[in-house]
Amino acid sequence: MKPECSQSSPLQSSPSATASSRRNRSRWRITTALAGVFSIGLASCDLSPEYHPQKFLYPEGWEGKGLMGNAQPADGVVRSDWWTMFNDPILDGLEKRMLAVNPDLQAAAEAFTQARDVARETESRLYPQVTGAAHMSDNKGSLGRLYNNPATSSSLVYESNQAYSGAATWEPDFWNSIRNTTRMQKNLAQASAGQYALARLSLEAELASDYIALRGLDAQNAVYDDSIRYFRAAVEITELRQAGSIGAGLDVSRAETQLYSAQAGKSNLIARRNVMEHAIAVLLNTAPAGFHIAPVKDVKMHFGVVKINAGLPASLLERRPDIAIAERQMAASARAIGVSRAAFYPHITFSAEGGFEDGGFDLASISRAFWKIAVQAVEPAFTGGLRRAALQRSWSQYRSMVDNYRSVVLSAFQDVEDGLTQTRQFKIAQDQQQKAVDAALRTQSMTMALYTGGLSNYLDALVAQQDALQARLAEVEVQTAQVQSSVRLVRALGGGWSASDLPGIKQIDPFGPLQYKDLRTPKPVNGIDSHASPLDNDLRGDQVSANVPQGLTGRP
């Protein structure tokens, strides 16, 4: 009898085919799930509130209109090199050098670079994090180990293992937590750029104000020189009158007191000038011992007439770095609210790992492959109010940034009004003080002539001399204050800066997506350059300066 041959039905699959089908279905489900995650991630919702900068009602014009108000709308526009309006070549050279080597300004540029890098570090979380690993080991076991019989045991004495693998993790940003954190950091990086602009403007204004004060001290020094010569001549006159028995020794003593007091005042003024010169040297990255500005021996200060168009109050918001800083910080705090809201929702992470492992050298074989795919979802169930407190704090921080923004705007308006008022009043005071000087000099001449002719006592001449000296010193002080008020007004108006000078969001990235070279310093953005100058470590000053004919000299 012939044995029956069993034949399988065409509709019945073999066990291997069934396992393969299951693997295919599993892969299809995983692929579908990943595609769904990507699509959901692309359509993720933004939980941060809609942000708009605060809008205020502004006055139509400025209350104080003095010297600056006479400029035409097209004239007097504040430029970035605003100090050139004073027509002083030495000041121009000092400002240029300060911008190149000042350590505080360079530190502000580095702070902006660090803020850019922090934003890039945060943004990297949006992308899958991929790692690779390779492993190789070679082990030898001991024949004498416990429970090992070399005659009967088949345990391996030698063992080797090689493997290489790759892994990837990715967190789909369903609730825009990572995106809002990235935007927040980029807004803070823009605020850091505003800090650089503010530091630059502050240093420019400080250097200009110090230089003007230095020239004011030079003018006062010239006044003292004139007065000392006059007082010395007065001492000689009183001595001659005493020798001729027509004057008293009291007059000589009074004249000498006046002379020595003026000399003491001059010495005190020289000390103040040296201190001011030291301050300028430090701004220029120079040790004070290696820096000197030759004095100008003139009782008048010769600065160019400054005319500036203050513009409209509403335009001030676009011209002040500190206002831009406050606005960017306000925008960043709005993004922080979205981050706090996202903490209430699940955080999902996908991970995948795969590679090859073998005890020999046949690694690139499918049978030696291994892989793992995992999904993790984390939702805090109970945190004792942690997330609610964080959200409430975020809202409070946002409101405080709004209040701070309004305060900065009000302070900016005050600075401009103060500058306009001071320039107007100091100009009036300068004209009035000039009349006082003319009257005091006439009185000094008349009283000295009367005393020399024997028609008056020396006390009248002494009082007139004191009044003349103080009037001339006050005139220089008023003139110095008037020029310095122009500097303060320029600073109050932003010093030629504009909100358009802030880097854009796309400019914050410190390097390209595939850039691996030149990572030591990023490329400059909108004039913010992190660089090392050859003069950084040379604190001796400009030993061989091209500006020597203009008054810059190195001390021996």
pLDDT single digits (tens) 26-75: 555 555 555 454 445 444 588 999 998 888 887 777 775 543 333 333 44
Q: How many CA atoms lie within 13 A of 48 on its CB side?
A: 24
Residue with tokens 């350590």: 103
* The CATH number, out of the four listed (3.20.20.80, 1.20.1600.10, 3.40.50.300, 3.40.710.10), of the domain defined by the range 56-136+159-512+522-553: 1.20.1600.10
What are the tens digits of pLDDT across the range 357-379? 776 555 556 667 788 899 999 98
Query: What confidence score (pLDDT) does residue 396 get?
Result: 97
Q: What angle do CA 300, 272, 541 make, to 5 degrees?
A: 95
Coil, helix or strand at residue 44 = coil
Report residue 270 as tokens: 């020289």
Nearest to 187 by CA among 331, 47, 319: 331
Contact between residue 353 and residue 165 where contact means Cβ atoms under 8 Å apart: yes
Q: Is 179 helix (H, G, I), strand (E, B) or coil?
A: helix
Show the 3-state SS of 364-380. CCHHHEEEEEEEEEECC
Domain boundaries, the chain: 56-136+159-512+522-553
* % of the chain at pLDDT higher than 70: 80
Q: What is the pLDDT of residues 145-172, one digit of tens each?
A: 555 555 555 555 666 778 888 899 999 9
* Closest of 323, 420, 322, 410 to residue 76, by C-alpha: 420
Dihedral pair phi/psi, residue 55, rounded to 5°: -110, 135
3-state SS track over 266-294: HHHHHHHHHHHHHHHHHHCCCCHHHCEEC
Q: Are 122 and 187 in contact (CB under 8 A)?
A: no
Q: Contact, 183 vs 141, CB < 8 A? A: no
d(CA 235, CA 254): 9
Maximum separation of any 2 CA atoms in the chain, in Å: 173
Distance CA 156, CA 410 (A): 83
H or E segment to which residue 427 belongs: helix 386-452
Nearest-angstrom CA–CA distance, 114 and 140: 51
pTM over 0.75? The answer is yes
pLDDT of residue 520: 86
Per-residue pLDDT of the chain (556 residues; tens, 9 = 90+): 333 333 333 334 444 445 455 555 555 555 555 545 444 544 458 899 999 888 888 777 777 554 333 333 344 568 889 999 999 999 999 999 999 999 999 999 999 999 999 999 999 999 999 999 887 877 766 655 555 555 555 555 666 778 888 899 999 999 999 999 999 999 999 999 999 999 999 999 999 999 999 999 999 999 999 999 999 999 999 888 888 777 788 889 999 999 999 999 999 999 999 999 999 999 999 999 879 999 999 988 989 888 888 777 888 889 999 999 999 999 999 999 999 999 999 989 999 998 887 765 555 566 677 888 999 999 888 889 999 999 999 999 999 999 999 999 999 999 999 999 999 999 999 999 999 999 999 999 999 999 888 888 888 999 999 999 999 999 999 999 999 999 999 999 999 999 999 999 999 999 887 888 888 888 889 889 877 666 667 777 655 343 433 444 333 3
